Amino acid sequence: MSVERSTGADGGLVAALSFPLTTNRRALGAAVVAVVTYVGLVLSSFPAYSAQMLGADLGYLDDAVLALTANTYASIGPFGLGLVVAYAVLTGVALTNVATQLRLQDVSGVRDLLGVVPGLLASGCASCGAGVLGLLGFAGALAAMPFGGNLLRLAGIVLLLFFLARSGDPRNCRVS
């Protein structure tokens, strides 16, 4: 393992974001996590519809994802849909980095990457919309927020990017 580490936030963010692209296996893993995250977020945006479609037959998964993607686009616009996609991609990157750091370092070395949890939760809850909030009894909360919740989504993604920048490349040791 290398002892050097980029100290700049930009260098750490570039290292963290590019790490999954270092091998085909990592890239595929990050892509699979991103797709699963996107599908989960889109399906949770309208849980009753998703349950009906998938309860009838799992073959309707593609129809449900396409319909709910169109619904998400109509509800929160192209910027909001872009934020949902960005969150899914960043989740793939973050989980790939966490898995590598867990494999290479002891549990105490994972402290930096576990800091992405607040960003994952904040932007994840905002991205899935009324799905999670409805389960918690706050169905109209996201709709009542300014810009249809896009500001909260953006804040969660910025938080996730901050923690990824802070952790950098998971293969590099952090010397305090």
d(CA 120, CA 58): 27
Q: Are residues 142 and 86 in the same domain?
A: no
**In the prediction, which pLDDT does 98 show?**
79
Q: Are residues 133 and 74 in the same domain?
A: no
- Which of 20, 174, 17 lies closest to 109, judged by CA? 174
Residue 138: which domain range? 125-167
**In the prediction, which pLDDT does 103 show?**
78
Rounded to 10°, the helix 47-56/61-104 angle is 100
Query: How many separate domains does the chain show?
Result: 2
Q: Are residues 45 and 100 in the same domain?
A: yes
Q: Are residues 135 and 78 in the same domain?
A: no
Instruction: Enumerate residue ranges in the chain where pLDDT < 70.
Output: 1-10, 105-149, 173-176
Are the CB atoms for 5 and 159 separated by under 8 Å?
Answer: no
- The pTM score is 0.73
**In the prediction, which pLDDT does 75 show?**
83
Q: Are residues 46 and 91 in the same domain?
A: yes
**In the prediction, which pLDDT does 94 show?**
85
Q: Are residues 51 and 81 in the same domain?
A: yes
**In the prediction, which pLDDT does 172 show?**
74
**In the prediction, which pLDDT does 144 show?**
64
